[in-house]
Amino acid sequence: MARVTVAAAVSLIAVLAPLVLGTKPHAQSSTYYNPILPGFHPDPSCIFVPEWDDTFFCASSSFNAFPGIPLHASKDLQNWKLIGHVLNRPEQLPRLAETNRSTSGIWAPTLRFNEGNFWLVTTLVDDDRVDTDSSRWDNVIFKSEDPYDPYAWTEAIHFDFEGYDTSPVWDSDGKTYIVGGHAWKVSPGILLAEANLDTGEVGEWEVIWNGTGGTAPEGPHIFLKDGWYYLLAAEGGTGLEHMVTMARSKSIHGPYEVNPANPVLTNANTTNYFQTVGHADLFQDGAGNWWGVALSTRSGPEYLYYPMGRETIMVPVTWADNEFPIWSSLNGEMSGWAFPQENVELAGTGPLISEGDIINFEPGSTLPAHFTYWRYPIPESYIISPSDHTNTLRLNPSKLNLTALNGNYAGPSGQTFVGRRQQDTLFTYSVNLDFSPALLEEESGISVFLTQNHHLDLGVVMLPANSSTTTFPGTNLTTSTELIPQLRFRGISYVQVPDDIVVPIPESWSGKTLRLEVKAYNMTHYSMSAGPADALSQMKTILDVSNAPVSWGFSGVILGVYCTTNGYEGSTPAYISEWRYIPQGQFRN
């Protein structure tokens, strides 16, 4: 295969590069901006793979989103492209279909390359179960020979571990281990067991480190360097107290001596806009320089407005022989080691991370790689360019809406919703909606969706003509009541959301395709608007709404479209067209 030959030649250069450049590692420097992967990209795990044409690869957590475990690649550490997803077909891990709770799903993947194979070790969590129920933690391994080919990723190989944040490590004596965090059987700590990654067989788990005293020692990775085993972990929980700590030992089993300079990376107790820094990984580039990645929330210490959730950041790291590494502190603008030469030539189907969307659902097209569902979709509910409505996405309604059953798994009839991550502080997202509801509570619209318990929706919904601002489920309506399509805003969150707004669609717009829009116009607020698609000057702002209701938990906002009958009967489809997402600015301090 030609690719292997080229890769082999390139890797030889990569091996020589440190020798050539190693004498003057400080000679050049780069300026770059955090986050490197903005939006819902938590728990990053990144590697550099000379064998694959000197490419950097990063995986991140996806919780209940599907496709799951996005993979981004870069050749220059500046331009990151979505190249696919490790979890790309339901057969790989059927249980994601049924996870209850918004904090469930895929937690904390670790991506590694070893002897020609990519390995991805992670945990499928069902947070509906209590800690002591071993079925809460489904630890799994995926393997691939080609990160660009979705089908090359195996089905999940399951292994026994009552904890999460699992990470493989290959010892110099040929043994393979998995290290993981926070098992309930012993006090929270970092545990290790020998493992066969191909079969999922694991040995006895032993606690190798209890951390430095922060809550929830987790996110462990072990690195072999200069005859030491360096253990990297996160502590303090994934909120404002989050931090990265390290320890080391001459034996993989310990005892681990604590780094006197801990925490090596944190923004706790600072006023930095980047908070909750932790859950890190380390990799070395082709010039021999070290980099750290971690998650962080752009929230400031107030920690109220962070709709993009936990994002991927990168900092330069200095790692001298026989010493603990020194991590640069995290800011929005960074200077670091010289980057490899700019190169945006990457295989893979997804967009570059900074790109917006101009999507027209042309005949014969497929949904873009970065589009995301909540759990597994029912494929028939999403039809591109049906013959009677070309250049649209047809959505068939789900009986349950975006909240579904108290925010839990919606059952086999699913939830019709597809979106893309909010990746910019400021943006405008808009679509055309062609929808002629016939029955009570048939609804379609746009959503600022964080979880099933946190979303802000603006839709067209069939309601009695004389409804004011009250919602109708619960009311017993007579068949004689006249139903008309109305615009409705409805939000749900653990914090206060504005009351529902129901406004009749103006006479002059009736029967027309509408344009629905959500715009983040400052750091804390969205506006949600509607108007006739053929007369945008008539767009009306329905409301301004704070993003605090969608700033919560482990995930980040997904902007998308939905179609539902809100528990009633109905089958009227909606047709979505001219999908646009326009990035309009990042706040970094």
Catalytic residue positions?
43, 218
Binding site for ligand NAG (CB under 6 A): 98, 100, 128, 187, 189, 207-210, 241, 243, 254, 263, 266, 268-269, 400-401, 403-405, 408-409, 464, 466-467, 476, 481, 492, 522-525, 544, 566-567
Q: Shortest Cβ distance from residue 200 to ligand NAG (Å)?
A: 22
Which tokens in the block code for residue 589? 């301090």
Q: Shortest Cβ distance from residue 214 to ligand NAG (Å)?
A: 7
Q: Shortest Cβ distance from residue 395 to ligand NAG (Å)?
A: 15
Q: Shortest Cβ distance from residue 168 to ligand NAG (Å)?
A: 20
Nearer to ligand NAG, 338 or 378 (CB): 378
Q: What are the strands, taking DSSP E only, across 369-453? A: 373-374, 382-384, 393-395, 417-421, 426-435, 443-451
Residue 235 makes CB contacts below 8 A (sequence gap 6+) with 211, 212, 213, 214, 215, 216, 217, 218, 242, 243, 245, 263, 278
Cα separation, 249 vs 66, in Å, equals 39
Nearer to ligand NAG, 85 or 490 (CB): 490
Cα separation, 40 vs 153, in Å, equals 22
Q: Closest-CB residue for ligand NAG?
A: 567
Taking a C-beta distance cutoff of 8 angstroms, is the pair 519, 527 a contact?
yes
Q: Which of 305, 367, 302, 321 is nearest to 548 (CA)?
A: 305
Which tokens in the block code for residue 143? 């393997």
Residue 476 makes CB contacts below 8 A (sequence gap 6+) with none
Q: Count of alpha carbons within 13 Å of 84, Cβ hemisphere only?
A: 16
Nearer to ligand NAG, 128 or 194 (CB): 128
Cα separation, 212 vs 268, in Å, equals 15
Q: Shortest Cβ distance from residue 239 to ligand NAG (Å)?
A: 11
Residue 84 makes CB contacts below 8 A (sequence gap 6+) with 67, 70, 71, 147, 148, 149, 150, 348, 349, 350, 369
Cα torsion 325, 327, 328, 330 to 10°: value is 170
Q: Shortest Cβ distance from residue 66 to ligand NAG (Å)?
A: 16
Q: Shortest Cβ distance from residue 492 to ligand NAG (Å)?
A: 4
Nearer to ligand NAG, 51 or 128 (CB): 128
Which tokens in the block code for residue 55? 């490419």
- The strand pair at 117-125 and 137-144 is best described as antiparallel
C-alpha angle 408/554/96, rounded to 5°? 45
Cα separation, 310 vs 38, in Å, equals 9
The owner of tokens 């919780």 is 63
Q: Shortest Cβ distance from residue 179 to ligand NAG (Å)?
A: 13
Q: What SS3 class is residue 95?
A: helix
Nearer to ligand NAG, 163 or 464 (CB): 464
Cα separation, 41 vs 37, in Å, equals 6
